[in-house]
Structure formats: C-alpha cells, structure tokens
Amino acid sequence: MTTMTSPPKTTTSQVPEAMLERFRERADAHDRDNTYFHADLEELRAIGYLASDVPVDHGGWGLSLAELGRSQRRLARYAPATALATTMHLYWTGMAGDLERFGDDSAAWIMDAAVNGEIFASGHAEAGNDLPILFSTCAAERVDGGYRLTGRKMFGSNGPVWDWLGGHAMTVDGGGPQIVHFFLARGSEGVTVLENWDTLGMRASQSYDTVLDGAFVPDERIGRVVPAGDDSDLFLAATQMWALPTIANVYLGIAERALEVAVAWAKRKTSIGIDRGSYAHNPFVQHQVAEMYLELDAATAVLDRLVDDWMTGVDHGAAWGAKIFAMKWRVVESAKKVVDTALDVTGGAGMIRGNELERLYRDVRCGGFHPANDALAHEMIGKTALGIGAEPPRW
Ligand SMILES: Cc1cc2nc3c(=O)[nH]c(=O)nc-3n(C[C@H](O)[C@H](O)[C@H](O)COP(=O)(O)OP(=O)(O)OC[C@H]3O[C@@H](n4cnc5c(N)ncnc54)[C@H](O)[C@@H]3O)c2cc1C
C-alpha cells in the first residue's frame, strides 16, 4: 500500500457545541422511530461540514484525516448514527483530496459536488462477500462509453438522501477478473433504493439496500479499474485509510460518551451503605471507571498512532493492511468493553428505554460488523505475521 505525506495545514473549523446538543436531543427519537437524521444533516450542510475534509482552495474546511477523525469522534459523543453515516460520505471527499495531493485530479469532481451540497454513499457491502472492495458479487459489463452494473448492495448509509453511490463491481471484460470502482448517480435507470433498515443499533443511519439492474455509469464516473484482489492502487489505499480510522473514531466517541455518562451517574447514585454519599466512593466502582479509562487510553493511542503514521508517510509496506485491521479491531473491542462496563456502573437504570446508555449499548455493537469483522481481521493479521500471501486457496 502506498503511504501518504501530511496534507498542507489549513484552518480548522468546528461543529458548534449548541448544534451538537440539538443533535443529542433528537438522537433518541430517531432511534425510537427508526428515522433518518434529516434535521442534523441540514444543519451540517448549512455550515459546510459536508465538505469539511475538502481542501480550502476547493471551498472546504481543509480538515486533515486526523482532524476529521477527532471531529467525527466528538460528533459521535452526541449523535452516533449521524457521525457514522456522515463518515460514509466524508471518506469519499477525503479520498478525492488525497488523490489530488498526489497529482491525480480525476476525483476532484467529488469535492466540488460535496461543496455544492451533494451527498455520497458507500456501496461496498454485499451479501455473501466478506472481502468488500477487493472482490464483488455485482457484475460490471463493458458497454459503449461506460459500464452496466447488475447486483445488489446493502447497508448503504444515508439511504434517503444520497445523490451518488460510490461502489465497486467485478468484470471479466478485457482480461482477467477486474474490479470497477464507480460513482453511480441516484436517478440513473436501473437503480432501486429499498427502504429496508430496521436494526439493533445505528438506526438513524438508515442504511438501505440498492438494487442495480443494468444501471449505466459513464466512463467519467469510473474511479478505477484494477485487478481483483489487489489493493495497492492509491485510490483503494486512500479509500480504506479515510474510511476505517474515521469509522473507528465514531465507535471511540461512543465509548468516550459512555464513560462520561457512567461517571456522572456514579456521582449521583447513592447507597444506604455508603456514608460518604455517592457510588463514586465505592472502590469497585472506582475500579470499573479506571478500567474504562485504561481501555480508552490504549484504544485512542492505537488509533491516533495509525493516522499519524499515514500522515507522516511511515512505510509499513505490505503490513499496512494488517495495521489498519488491527487498529479497527482494537478500537471497536475496547469501545464495546467500555460501554459494557458503563452499564455495570449505572446498574439497571442504564437498560431502561430512553436512557442514553441503552442506545449507546446497541449502537456500539454495530462496530464489529464493519470490515474487517472479527474473523477477517484475525485472518489477515495472522497471515501477515506468518508471511502468507493473499494467493488462493484462501484456506
Ligand atoms: C450501522 C452500519 C452502517 C453501515 N454502512 C455501510 C455503508 O454505508 N456502506 C457499506 O458499504 N457498508 C456499510 N456497512 C456494512 C458493513 O460494511 C458490512 O458489510 C455489513 O455490516 C454486513 O456484513 P456481513 O458480511 O457481516 O453481513 P452478513 O450478515 O453476512 O449479511 C447481511 C445480510 O445479507 C444476507 N446474506 C448474507 N450472506 C448471504 C448470501 N450468501 N446470500 C444471500 N444473502 C446473504 C444476510 O441474511 C443478511 O440479511 C455498515 C454497517 C453497519 C453496521
């Protein structure tokens, strides 16, 4: 995988605190009613956040990967599903900026579209494919002036609002199996978006399925055509690098909020057996809070270090894939533990509907499903450590 130098430093803007408070107030209703965060999105659009990682000279805020990650982590403390779904849009704009920094302006139109308020979705998830991006169950057929796509994508966050679906499909036209990375306009013929999201957590992300029935993508909206199974192209490297750490930051933000909630609760909760007042004086509760802190501290270090390595051009060579998967696995597992322990601290109050922790508990469980899941992370990390390549057979 190619490494990346630090992007030029520009101004840093922030989502205002009062706006975030409004998002938190709405989050419970969106979760309960299984509705998309339209009002949050409009507020974010109005302040230019949907182009926050687009360089300033393109009309964005110019946030670096590290800055965007911290911002999404903060957003997740208020509205996890809003943070997760906007991540699916912002990783495309971030990827486009990285390409341009390396002298490839083929994706610059993505940044312009985002500045104009258009929304990108990620169309990588497919049933029956645990190696998204590298392989595909969707077919791409070469036709005059572009490709026709047939297949089904799932878990497409921002389902009600996306304008462009950035995804991938497999073709054998023109040689061996190749992956066609495309950006498909929502209104194209042969595109059907199915409103089928009703899940355990991250409910406001409204991550719908999209059925592709010969949908046409013109050549100018094809990002790359690369050999199947090969992720060495910068387009793929930058896509993964903007996606996975930013997704991890969302789950870290949930864990940070869970600690905050647990601490506040421990200070309020009393026991007839504790003379000094609150549960904060219970040594077991102090231990639990320390455990949460220790998990968060380590997970934060792993995540920030990975992003820093990428931005400063550290050469991990072929180990980059294992590094990214290890980071994502560590952060999500730590986040789940932190939220679990937060519930131990609050006790039964935390399981009552309407309690923020009850929602965070469900939201954080979604972290393990994003690539790489537990099995794939261990497979890739184990193979890398053992020096086993990706050549078939897989096992
Ligand atoms: C909150 C959330 C938001 C996400 N947003 C996005 C996004 O915007 N874009 C994106 O690309 N990905 C997104 N992901 C998806 C993620 O990347 C995973 O692909 C997803 O979690 C499913 O992975 P899985 O392999 O575990 O699914 P599975 O559990 O294997 O499959 C999910 C569904 O497919 C069915 N299925 C599985 N295998 C088959 C088969 N062989 N034949 C027929 N049906 C089958 C299952 O029954 C189930 O209905 C999101 C995930 C989460 C949790």
CA of 155 to the centre of ligand 1 (A): 6
CA of 195 to the centre of ligand 1 (A): 15
Summarised one tens digit per residue, pLDDT across range 102-127 is 999 999 999 999 999 999 999 999 99
Residue owning the nearest CA to atom 26 of ligand 1: 369
pLDDT of residue 390: 80
CA of 126 to the centre of ligand 1 (A): 6
pLDDT of residue 62: 96
Summarised one tens digit per residue, pLDDT across range 162-194 is 999 999 999 998 778 999 999 999 999 999 999
Range list for CATH 1.20.140.10 in the chain: 234-386
CATH class of 122-227: mainly beta
CATH 1.10.540.10 fits 17-119, yes or no: yes
Residue owning the nearest CA to atom 12 of ligand 1: 125
Residue owning the nearest CA to atom 31 of ligand 1: 127
CA of 34 to the centre of ligand 1 (A): 18
CA of 355 to the centre of ligand 1 (A): 28
Summarised one tens digit per residue, pLDDT across range 70-85 is 999 999 999 999 999 9
Residue 131 has pLDDT above 50, yes or no: yes
Range list for CATH 2.40.110.10 in the chain: 122-227
CA of 226 to the centre of ligand 1 (A): 23
Residue 8 has pLDDT above 70, yes or no: no
Summarised one tens digit per residue, pLDDT across range 305-353 is 999 999 999 999 989 999 999 999 999 999 999 999 999 999 999 999 9
pLDDT of residue 9: 41
Residue owning the nearest CA to atom 45 of ligand 1: 127
For residues 220, 95, 136, 139, the Cα torsion angle rounded to the nearest 10 degrees is: -10
Summarised one tens digit per residue, pLDDT across range 194-240 is 999 999 999 999 999 999 999 999 999 999 999 999 989 999 999 99
Residue 10 has pLDDT above 70, yes or no: no
Residue 25 has pLDDT above 50, yes or no: yes
pLDDT of residue 12: 52
- Residues 250-272 have a mean pLDDT of 95
Average pLDDT, whole number, for the chain? 95
Residue in 247, 370, 373, 379 to alter for ligand 1 test, most ligand atoms within 8 A of Cβ: 370
CA of 263 to the centre of ligand 1 (A): 34
List pocket residues of ligand 1, CB cut-off 6 Å.
84, 88, 121-125, 127-128, 130, 154-157, 202, 205, 207, 366, 369-371, 373
Of 132-136, 243-247, 262-266, the range with the lowest mean pLDDT is 132-136
Atom of ligand 1 nearest to the CA of 81: 1
Rounded to two decimals, what is the model's pTM?
A: 0.95
Residue owning the nearest CA to atom 43 of ligand 1: 127
Residue that is written with structure tokens 């998309």 in the block:
36
Q: CATH for 234-386?
A: 1.20.140.10
Range list for CATH 1.10.540.10 in the chain: 17-119
Atom of ligand 1 nearest to the CA of 130: 25
Residue in 131, 153, 154, 197 to alter for ligand 1 test, most ligand atoms within 8 A of Cβ: 154
Residue owning the nearest CA to atom 7 of ligand 1: 156
CA of 310 to the centre of ligand 1 (A): 28
